[in-house]
Amino acid sequence: MKRLFLGRWWHWAMLILTVLLMWQAGQSKMHVIHFNLFVSLLILGTLVGVICLVRFTRPGEQITRDKIEDDNA
């Protein structure tokens, strides 16, 4: 299973939490009624997710299915 689900467990927990929050925002029609708040929260959530992934991923740790080639080598 570790080869199927790459990344740490909290990567997957963060993805599930994001999907649940976006589903809840859609159910409450937040993207229609409170558009500015919705966009602000969407941008903030994206920034927090990216910062967490960059900050807590160790150098050399594989987080993608295929290896990323370094063009400078």
Digit-coded pLDDT (tens) for 4-39? 677 778 888 888 988 998 889 889 998 889 899 989
pLDDT band at 1 (very low <50, low <70, confident <90, very high): low
Residue 68: is its pLDDT beyond 70?
no
Overall average pLDDT of the 31-50 stretch: 89
pTM as predicted: 0.66
The Cα 60–Cα 73 span in angstroms is: 15
Per-residue pLDDT, 73: 58
Q: Which of 22, 24, 29, 18 shows the shortest CA–CA distance to 53?
A: 18
